[in-house]
Each structure stands twice: as C-alpha cells, then as structure tokens.
Chain A
C-alpha cells in the first residue's frame, strides 16, 4: 500500500473514500491500513504548510550547521536527541560530508529568539564543537508547495 502513503504525503486531507478510489482499494482496507501506519509510526503526523509571511504573525526560521563530537558506542544519536528534544527545534538531520555533522532547523518568533536559542542552548552543549547559523530570508517552495502566489491563466469557456 505504498500508493496510499504517496497519496497521503501529497494531500492528507483526502477522505478514506477518495483514497480508496485513488489507490483502487476498499474503504475499509484503507481505514485499517492508515490505523496501522499510525500505530507503527510509519505515519508520524499530519500538518499544514503555512506561509506565515501572509499573516500578522512574525516568524523566523534558521538553518544551523552543527559540528559535534560523536559519542563512543552511540555515534551522533545521543547528541541529536539532546538537540531535538527542544520544542524550538523543527528538524534535525545527520549529514554526510566533512564540514558539519548535523543540520538543525529551528523556528522562532523573532531573530533574537533564534539567536538566544543558539547561543544559550545549542552552542553550550558539551559535544557541540561549533555552529553556523543561516537565517532563511524567503521561502520559495516546501514539500512541493510553492510560496509565491502563482498567477493562473484566466479560463475562458471553450467547448472541447
């Protein structure tokens, strides 16, 4: 049923009936499969992609390169865990390449909030040997969704 996962990854607002038609399955099968995926944490959750720039609310996102000393027997997992437990942390990825080890994405309300998090929480961790913070200036596309408003062709009626 990877087809079902693909469909949900594209649009999690599809109803079980719609999903059943699209994946060519029975509605009951789809409901059972989703429940199982949720239970097994194959599906971690469902979230909306929000363009905060179109709202009153201020929002800042930063991408932080983090260099760490791996722990004996635990590699990077332990330090990653200590980082991802913070609520401010949106994503953490272990990266290949030698320049840094982890990419941490955090979002806050203001530049200062993000800077304080890096300075006071992240950088002082004992296994963290260095950080470089990059503020995201503008989001163009996320999860296949485009942020700038796309102009649509005016559809005039034609009989085809």
Chain B
C-alpha cells in the first residue's frame, strides 16, 4: 500500500514534534533529572481521587449527558463566577471536554472555514497551529518578544491582522514562557479587537497558576465576552492531568455547534473523571492554593538560581515554567538541550520546539521537587562553566 497517497494531505503536512529523539535518549538514562515534562508533580488530592473511586464502587459507569453531567456544569459555572468573575449558563454555555486539548480542537474546527487565518502567538503550546491546519485554517505565527516578557502587544496584534483573520489564540498564562497578560495588557488587545469580527480562543488552562495577582480573562472585559471562547480544565489547577477533564465556555450559539461535534466525536467525557471533577470544584479551592503556593516558592528559587548562574530570564508570573535566555552561550537551543542532557543528565526543553520566537531560550519546568531543582541548578552551573572552558580553548 502506498500510505503516503492514501493519507490525508493535511495530516501529512503537519510537522511532527522535533524532540522525539531527545525523549528517546532521556528514556534510556537512569538517573536523569527532568525539568522537561509540563505536568504537576503532585498526585491528585485524595478527596478528589476518592470521589472517583466511590463513583466506581457505586457502579456509575454509564455515559453521561453529551455536554457533561449537569451537576458538574453547574459546579463549573459556580467556580468560574467565584474565582474569575466569569458568568456562564451551565445549560447552554458550557461543554465538558476530554482535557483542554479537545476544547481547543472543537473551537478551531467549529470556527474555521478554509482560508481563515488564525493568529497564534509564539512561543506557545504546540497544538494550536497543527489543529488549526487540520480544521482547514491557516495559522499565522506571531513572534512574541523577550523584552516584552512575551506578552502580546497591540502593535504586534495589529501587524498580524489581515482581512482573512478569523481568530486570535490567546494562550496566557503561557506555556512555555510563563508570561501573563494583566488587565491593562488585555485592555490594549481589546482596543484592537473592538469593532472587528475577530474571535478569540482564550486558553486559560494555567489561570490558577498566576502568582501575586488574580488571573484576568479577556472575557471579563467590555465587548469581549461575545467574541471569546474560554478553554479551561482541571489538569494544572487540580493536578488532574491523567483524568483528561477540561471544558469550553462561550456564547450559546457557538457552544451549541461545538457540542454537536463533541457528541459525534467523543460522546461524553469519562464518567469517573466527571465525578472526581465535581468534588474538585466543590471542595478543591484549598488544594489549588496549597499547590500554587508551593510552585510559587520553587519559581522564585529557580529564577534566582538561573540569574545567579548567569542565564538572564524575566520573572514569569504564571504557569510553572521559567524561560531563560541562552543566547549568550552561542548554542542553538536544541543543541544546548542535547548537550546539557548528555553531559549533565538534566532535561530541559528547547525553546525552538514551541515555534518560531522560541529559539535562543529553553523551557525549565519547576513542577518538580526543590531537591531536583537545586541539583539541576548545580549541574547547569557546571555545564556552563565547562562550556565556557571548551569554547575558550577552541
């Protein structure tokens, strides 16, 4: 069979992630320290796990409503209003999805027509561009700048808008940069969007991991609610990555269409996870704060450590990543990461993996123990000292 001829052209045009080889090396390595995986190191809090276990014991194993259990959607509505002042009707404006990723896919597929342009600020999580392409759209990558702490500025946004622009992806707090947009930053973006028909997909999966301030959603701003689809989920806020629980919220006419697609593609999100998620929404606020507090301490420690070693980085106010500037080493980011892994057995991810604009930086995830962070910093110091010596000799 000639699979290349059989497969869809669209999927073949999607570039695979370039760091597979890196992970293969890492897998073989026994005592490597990883600041690589972007995942909470906490186990899901017990009361949430217990709610899942209890639902299984009771035999609650059937499908739920397509949009997710109404009880869960009510809890999500109450949570969003309580914590972010976002107001959505549980019956018509919320769909429970299989992780935030499904939500992103649904939103893109339901909004894009062939030729529609999607502005994707980069560096950012890798899924937006490929999913936009698969949905028939055209991703337009917009490089964010380190000197702006990787925030999206109104000038940058204006420069990327064309008559074909359909959608702006707003991935803040941002993976991999840790950049955030505060109210004033969003006001400036809203100023550009007002009066246009450009829609916004606001990926707020890291909303709870915002340090020293409350997260603000674009949907909180005047005239923005109608054009914004919010994606959120339980993975990062409640350390529930493996439960695959996310949700989409937005204007009812959009959510109705997204629900249609979800119904055909997924049926309903896993029932056991939905029961656990209800408990997370009802009694999980303290867990969020406990984990955020812990990340916050590690964040400061890692930023201070990197600066002490001599790698410049801005202080990230969100997510659980620091994105130091490695341009001073003269190495491209993928070579930096591969050599750091081979020589010192520490995994960090090349900024170039997160799209154009990420080159010259590496992503260090601090969702790992203080002990590992401390050891990784010592090894990094070592690596940089040896590198300088080698470069001086050459």
A contact set with B: CB distance below 8 Å: 7, 11, 14-15, 17-18, 21-24, 153, 155-160
Neighbouring A residues of B17 by C-beta, 8 Å: 159
B295 to chain A, nearest CB (A): 10
User: Can you list 30 contacts pairing A with B, beta carbon distance less than 8 Å?
Assistant: A7-B297, A11-B370, A14-B370, A17-B301, A18-B297, A18-B301, A18-B370, A18-B374, A21-B300, A21-B301, A22-B298, A22-B300, A22-B370, A23-B297, A24-B297, A156-B27, A157-B26, A157-B36, A158-B37, A159-B17, A159-B19, A159-B23, A159-B126, A159-B349, A159-B353, A160-B37, A160-B39, A160-B125, A160-B175, A160-B241
Query: Measured between alpha carbons, how far is A15 from B370 in the docked complex, in Å?
Result: 10
> Given known contacts A158-B37, A160-B37, A160-B39, is B27 in contact with A22 (CB within 8 Å)?
no
Instruction: Label chain B's interface by main secondary structure.
Output: helix
CB pair A21–B374 under 8 Å, yes or no, is: no
CB pair A157–B300 under 8 Å, yes or no, is: no
Neighbouring B residues of A15 by C-beta, 8 Å: 374
**Chain B residue at minimum C-beta to C-beta distance from A21:** B301
Does any Cβ of A come within 8 Å of B38's Cβ?
A: yes
Neighbouring A residues of B374 by C-beta, 8 Å: 15, 18
> Given known contacts A18-B301, A21-B300, is B370 in contact with A157 (CB within 8 Å)?
no
Question: Besides the contacts A18-B374, A22-B300, A157-B26, what 11 more A-B pairs have beta carbons closer than 8 Å?
Answer: A14-B370, A15-B374, A18-B297, A18-B370, A21-B304, A22-B297, A22-B298, A157-B36, A159-B126, A160-B37, A160-B175
- Residues 150-195 of B contacting A (Cβ, < 8 Å): 175
Neighbouring B residues of A23 by C-beta, 8 Å: 297
Neighbouring B residues of A155 by C-beta, 8 Å: 37
**Chain A residue at minimum C-beta to C-beta distance from B301:** A21
- Residues 346-364 of B contacting A (Cβ, < 8 Å): 349, 353
Per-position binary interface string of chain B over residues 83-101, scored 1 when its CB falls under 8 Å from any chain A CB and 0 otherwise: 0000000000000000000
- Residues 17-38 of B contacting A (Cβ, < 8 Å): 17, 19, 23, 26-27, 36-38
A132 to chain B, nearest CB (A): 33
Max chain B Cβ within 10 angstroms of own Cβ: one of A7, A15, A21, A155? A21
Across the A-B interface, give the 7 residue pairs with the lowest CB-CB distance, nearest first: A22-B297, A21-B301, A157-B23, A21-B300, A160-B38, A159-B17, A18-B370
Query: Measured between alpha carbons, how far is A159 from B19 in the docked complex, in Å?
Result: 8
CB pair A157–B298 under 8 Å, yes or no, is: no
A127 to chain B, nearest CB (A): 43
**Chain A residue at minimum C-beta to C-beta distance from B41:** A155
**Chain A residue at minimum C-beta to C-beta distance from B374:** A18
Query: Measured between alpha carbons, how far is A7 from B300 in the docked complex, in Å?
Result: 15
Neighbouring B residues of A159 by C-beta, 8 Å: 17, 19, 23, 126, 349, 353
Query: Measured between alpha carbons, how far is A15 from B377 in the docked complex, in Å?
Result: 14
Max chain B Cβ within 10 angstroms of own Cβ: one of A17, A156, A160? A160
Query: Measured between alpha carbons, how far is A159 from B374 in the docked complex, in Å?
Result: 23
**Chain A residue at minimum C-beta to C-beta distance from B353:** A159
Query: Measured between alpha carbons, how far is A159 from B349 in the docked complex, in Å?
Result: 9
Neighbouring B residues of A153 by C-beta, 8 Å: 242
Could you say which of A11, A24, A156, A160 contacts B300, with CB atoms under 8 Å apart? Answer: A24
Could you say which of A7, A11, A22, A157 contacts B37, with CB atoms under 8 Å apart? Answer: A157
A76 to chain B, nearest CB (A): 36
Query: Measured between alpha carbons, how far is A155 from B36 in the docked complex, in Å?
Result: 12
Per-position binary interface string of chain B over residues 357-386, scored 1 when its CB falls under 8 Å from any chain A CB and 0 otherwise: 000000000000010001000000000000
B102 to chain A, nearest CB (A): 14
Max chain B Cβ within 10 angstroms of own Cβ: one of A17, A18, A153? A18
